[in-house]
Amino acid sequence: MGQLVARGHELTSRPDEADVIVVNTCSFIHPAKQESVDTILEMAEFKKNGRAKKLIVAGCLVERYRGDIRRQLPEVDAMVGTNELEQIVALSEGGTAQASSAEPYLYHDLTPRVLATPRHYAYIKIAEGCDHPCSFCVIPQFRGHFRSRGFESVVAEASRLLSRGVREINLIGQDTTCYGEDLGIKDGLALLLKRLARIETARGKWIRFLYCYPNRITQKLLDTMAAHDALVKYIDMPLQHASASVLKRMKRGASGDVFLKLLARIRSSVPGVAIRTSLIVGFPGETDRDFEELCRFVEAARFDRLGVFSYSDEETSESCHLDGKVDKRTVYNRRRRLMALQRRVSRRGNRALVGRELEVLVTGLSAESELVWEARLATQAPEIDGVCHIEDPGEVAPRAGQFRRMRVTRAHDYDLAGSLVDEAPVEETEAAEALFPILP
């Protein structure tokens, strides 16, 4: 999007207004592939009945199924794989694709970008690819080997975003905790976070990192988190399971006991930390006993946030060839049971916050009511965790991007409700705006 804007093109999120429609796709698991194909077919209608002249498909579906798309979706005019992003301008302008570079793509701070998130928060990708061998996962097949962005490049991008009014930065990558290993930097993520926390404009803002690999969480990383106010006390660490035999078949290793010790160390090192994880149920060979062990683990671990995914058989993954496939009904029931268990844990945690006054980042009006505003605690990551509903905003309406104090008055299973208790700040951010260009 940044490259198109830098070239003078105008972006629209309305397909009926577009001359060129680009569908960015995902092909991680079956539902994502289905959604991608459905969207391509839906967008193809605008070529027949609208003003669109061209339909371009980009992203991971192209990496995985280029030949199939060419054969089975004649409506698609061009494709842009994950290493060919720089061809988007030529293809949109009617040119043809150049031979792609053999180098895996990695953007840098001079790559123009457009914030597709609301203006007060942004994601920064600090690394691409993954070298872990998880047997259920196909991501390394189309995202390639792990490679880190340069240290200074990330710092420059973060500084630019913060100085343009971004209040919250979320560092992402398939595995952020490996950051710097390929560059020969020891404790790369801890060093990067320390540096980001010291940027002048980071004072009072939130810097969060997502997607940690459990055995890469070092004491230095935890101590760094604890030492800097700008670093959000939040760990998102997918564990996938707790039974040692399932973890072995997943090619991830460790066990529930190892994870419980790690959780205790994280909590004692970073006071007030919120921990999120994701788990897979129905992995091939998961027995009733394995599942009961997982339930006991979830009870004991008291995760603040938890996502439970049903195992998806992907034809090019190693686990696809494992025996002991679990039937769909059992997978469905296991997922429901685990989520019900977590709902109780989450409700207990939320109830403990009632009556407390906490800092929130206002995110805008609630989609459900014009009388209710939404905000997030630092321990609620965007787009995935629960939110805070501001039912009493005070005399002056809050604005998206403001940091405010909220008294928690009610607790739901995942969300909280409360009232703002501070004065509206004099210094205001501009209203949230879609597709905000950040050009170097």
Q: Which of 352, 359, 433, 413 is nearest to 390 (CA)?
A: 359
Residue placing its CB nearer to ligand SF4 in the complex, 78 or 130 = 130
Report CA-CA distances (Å) from 292 to 108, 289, 296, 397.
46, 5, 6, 48
Q: Which residues pair with 407 in a beta bridge?
A: 357, 419
Q: Which residues pair with 202 in a beta bridge?
A: none
**Least distance (Å) between residue 327 CB and ligand SF4:** 24
For residue 147, give every residue at least 6 positions away whose Cβ sits within 8 Å of its Cβ, in sequence order, or none.
104, 106, 127, 128, 129, 182
Stretch that binds ligand SF4, among 67-75, 137-145, 147-155, 227-235 (CB under 6 A): 137-145
Residue placing its CB nearer to ligand SF4 in the complex, 214 or 401 = 214
| Helix runs in 203-270, H state only | 219-227, 244-249, 256-269
Stretch that binds ligand SF4, among 60-68, 72-80, 134-142, 410-418 (CB under 6 A): 134-142
Given 21, 58, 91, 134, the residue binding ligand SF4 (CB under 6 A): 134
**Least distance (Å) between residue 178 CB and ligand SF4:** 9
Q: Determine contact, residues 244/259, Cβ cutoff 8 Å.
A: no
Residue placing its CB nearer to ligand SF4 in the complex, 69 or 262 = 262
Residue placing its CB nearer to ligand SF4 in the complex, 134 or 375 = 134
Would you state the structure tokens that stand for residue 428, as one six-digit string? 């205001």
- One-letter amino acid at 110 equals L
Give burial (CB, 10 Å; 0-12/13-18/19+) of 59. Answer: buried
Given 130, 222, 266, 273, the residue binding ligand SF4 (CB under 6 A): 130
63 binds ligand SF4 (CB under 6 A): no
**Least distance (Å) between residue 134 CB and ligand SF4:** 3
**Least distance (Å) between residue 116 CB and ligand SF4:** 22
Give burial (CB, 10 Å; 0-12/13-18/19+) of 204. Answer: exposed
**C-alpha 151: how far from its chain's center?**
21
Q: Which of 410, 408, 391, 398 is nearest to 361 (CA)?
A: 398
**Least distance (Å) between residue 305 CB and ligand SF4:** 18
Would you state the structure tokens that stand for residue 266, as one six-digit string? 């994280």
128 binds ligand SF4 (CB under 6 A): no
378 binds ligand SF4 (CB under 6 A): no
Residue placing its CB nearer to ligand SF4 in the complex, 130 or 345 = 130
**Least distance (Å) between residue 189 CB and ligand SF4:** 15
Binding-site size, ligand SF4 (CB under 6 A): 9
Computed over its alpha carbons, how large is the radius of gyration of the chain? 23
Map tokens 């603040």 to a residue. 304
140 binds ligand SF4 (CB under 6 A): yes
**Least distance (Å) between residue 174 CB and ligand SF4:** 4
- One-letter amino acid at 185 equals I
Question: Which residues in the 208-237 window bind ligand SF4 by CB under 6 A?
Answer: 213
**Least distance (Å) between residue 172 CB and ligand SF4:** 12
For 87, half-sphere exposure in the C-beta direction (CA atoms, 13 angstrom radius) is 21
**Least distance (Å) between residue 312 CB and ligand SF4:** 12
139 binds ligand SF4 (CB under 6 A): yes
132 binds ligand SF4 (CB under 6 A): yes
Residue placing its CB nearer to ligand SF4 in the complex, 174 or 319 = 174
Give burial (CB, 10 Å; 0-12/13-18/19+) of 28. Answer: middle
Binding site residues, ligand SF4, CB under 6 A: 130, 132, 134, 137, 139-140, 174-175, 213
